[in-house]
């Protein structure tokens, strides 16, 4: 059973690493395809606290990748993929893939699925993403509920007001 968890953990870290190394999705890339659309891919690091699982002094460490598209009205859509490591347990915690939708001035809603390495079960989650933070609720395959708070290195995804649009060629 422990070998299975280690292999899944290694696969999750490998998938995140491969995504980060793709030329079209390099960490920290900004591309503007038209005046009406802004694409962005950012890697991030975070500290995460989860109810009943992490102490204040030993949060989870999160490595993540967020890819977003922002339209002219600042509506953001995209995805967030993350891997968390528990400092409390010195083991892999979870792998999550979430969809993002919303506006920076109101916060982005996120909903997604994941896998808990500690509980060896699938996860479902939903929450709110803002500049440098994420709050979320989660239910695992054993019907256990939990809540998490994360502080990360990303400003609001796709904020057009912080970018300069490039005009389309004539």
Does residue 167 lie in a domain region?
Answer: no
Give the chain's mean pLDDT. 81
Does residue 141 lie in a domain region?
Answer: yes
Give the burial class of 1: count Cβ atoms within 10 A of its Cβ; 0-12 exposed, 13-18 middle, 19 or more buried: exposed
Does residue 46 lie in a domain region?
Answer: yes
| Cβ contact 81:94 at 8 Å | no
Does the predicted TM-score (pTM) go above 0.95?
Answer: no
Does residue 170 lie in a domain region?
Answer: no
Q: Quick: pLDDT tens for 41-100.
A: 999 999 999 998 888 889 999 999 999 999 988 899 999 999 999 999 999 999 999 999
Q: What is the pLDDT of residue 158?
A: 60
Does residue 16 lie in a domain region?
Answer: yes
Does residue 168 lie in a domain region?
Answer: no
Domain of 85, in residue numbers: 2-162
> In total, how many domains does the chain have?
1
Report which of residues 81 and 105 the model is more confident about: 81
Does residue 71 lie in a domain region?
Answer: yes
Taking the C-alpha atoms of residue 84 and residue 123, their distance in angstroms, rounded to an integer, is: 13
Does residue 169 lie in a domain region?
Answer: no
């Amino acid at each position: 059973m422990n070998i299975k968890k280690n292999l899944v953990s290694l696969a999750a870290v490998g998938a995140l690493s491969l995504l980060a190394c793709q030329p079209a999705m390099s960490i920290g890339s900004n591309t503007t395809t038209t005046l009406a659309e802004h694409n962005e891919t950012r890697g991030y690091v975070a500290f995460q606290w989860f109810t009943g699982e992490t102490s204040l002094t030993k949060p989870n460490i999160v490595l993540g990748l967020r890819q977003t598209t922002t339209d002219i009205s600042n509506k953001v859509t995209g995805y967030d993929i993350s891997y968390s490591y528990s400092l409390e347990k010195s083991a892999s915690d979870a792998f999550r893939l979430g969809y993002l939708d919303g506006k920076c001035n109101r916060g982005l809603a996120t909903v997604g699925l994941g896998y808990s390495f500690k509980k060896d079960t699938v996860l479902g989650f939903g929450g709110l993403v803002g500049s440098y933070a994420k709050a979320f609720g989660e239910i695992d395959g054993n019907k256990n509920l939990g809540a998490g708070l994360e502080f990360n290195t990303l400003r609001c995804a796709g904020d057009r007001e912080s970018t300069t649009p490039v005009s389309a060629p004539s």
